[in-house]
Structure 1
C-alpha cells in the first residue's frame, strides 16, 4: 500500500460504524510518514477507531476532546470538557501530563508522547497535513499488541476554553 492509498483507506475507516481490523490499521500505519515532535505542536481534536480494544469508549466517558502540545515538554494528553463545555487537562485521569519525544517504534523513529505518570507511549504518524494517526503502546503490551488506535485532527483555532499553544493551561 502506498501513502496515497493509505490516506484514502484511513479516511474511509475513520468513518466506519463497524469494527475495524487492527491488521488493516497496521498496514495503513506502515505506509504513513513519520512525524517530528516540533511539527505537531498545537491543539488537536481526537477520535478512536473501533477495533474491540478494552479502552474503547473510555475516553468518551471522560468527555475527551483531544490533545494539546503546547511545547515538546508541555503536552496535555487528556483534554476533556467539563459540565460547562470548557476544556481542561484531566491530570487525575492521566496521572499527570506528558512530553513529546522521538522514539523508535516498529523500526521507525517518530514523534511519541511519553506520559508523566503512566508507562504509556502514544506514537504518531502523518496521514495528511492536518491529521495524525496514533497508536497507544506501553509497558506490558506485547510487541504484536493489542494496541489502541486513534486519530487527531489539527484544531483550526483554539476551542472554547483552550489556551493557544505556548500560552499554558
Structure 2
C-alpha cells in the first residue's frame, strides 16, 4: 500500500514515521490562502518528535485564520472548554522543550494555567504563499518566532501541516480539521 492510500490509517491512528509523514506531505496538493480562512481544530501526528503529545496535554484546540494578515496560531481550551488565543513565547517554548515532560495528563492543569497567562486577542502570525518541499502552498509565518507552518490538502476540510522550527532539525506534523 502506498502512502497516499495509507492516508486514512495514518490520520486515524495519529501515528507514523517521519519518513512516511514526509512522503504523504509531498504527494498532497498545496492550498491557497483563502482555503485556510476560518477556524480549524488540530491534533498532533506523532512521529517521535520532541513536541509529540505536548500540545494535547496543554489543551491545544487549533488555529484560526481570519485573513492573510491576521492569524491566531495557537488556540487552547480553558478548564470550562472555552477557546482562548495565546501569544507564543520563545523562551517558554525553548524551556519546555528541554524538560523531560511526561506525555500524560498529570501536568495538564499546570500547562493550561501557564497558557492562560499568555492570553491575547492580537493576531500572532500571518499567511503567505511560500515554497516548501518543492511546492508553493499556504504557509503560516509566526510574527515573533522562527517558525513556519506549511499546509497541504488532504480533503476539503482537512489539511496536513508541517512545522518548520529553526531551533529543531526535525519537522513537527499536525492535522487540522475545518470547524463547520
Query: What's the TM-score bracket when you normalise by the shorter of the two chains?
Result: 0.7 to 0.9
Q: Secondary structure at the match of 1:91?
A: coil
RMSD: 2.0
Aligned to 2:124: 97
Aligned to 1:72: 68
Aligned to 1:114: 141
Q: Return the structure number with greater helix share.
A: 2
Aligned to 2:11: 14
Aligned to 1:54: 50
Identify which of 137, 141, 144 aligns with 2:164. Answer: 137
Deviations 1:130-152 (A, max 9, x none): 1000000022444xxx1101110
TM-score (norm 1): 0.81
TM-score (norm 2): 0.76
**What is the alpha-carbon distance in structure 2 between the residues aligned to residue 72 and residue 15 of structure 1?**
30
**What is the alpha-carbon distance in structure 2 between the residues aligned to residue 70 and residue 152 of structure 1?**
15
Give the length in aligned residue pairs: 149
Q: Secondary structure at the match of 2:13?
A: coil
Structure 1 residue runs of 5 or longer lacking an equivalent are: 157-169
The ranges of structure 1 where at least 4 consecutive aligned residues each deviate by more than 2 angstroms after the TM superposition are 92-96
Structure 2 residue runs of 5 or longer lacking an equivalent are: 91-117
On the 8 A contact 2:60/2:76 being kept in 1, the answer is yes
| Residues 93/80 of structure 1: CA separation in 2 closer, same or farther (3 Å cut) | farther
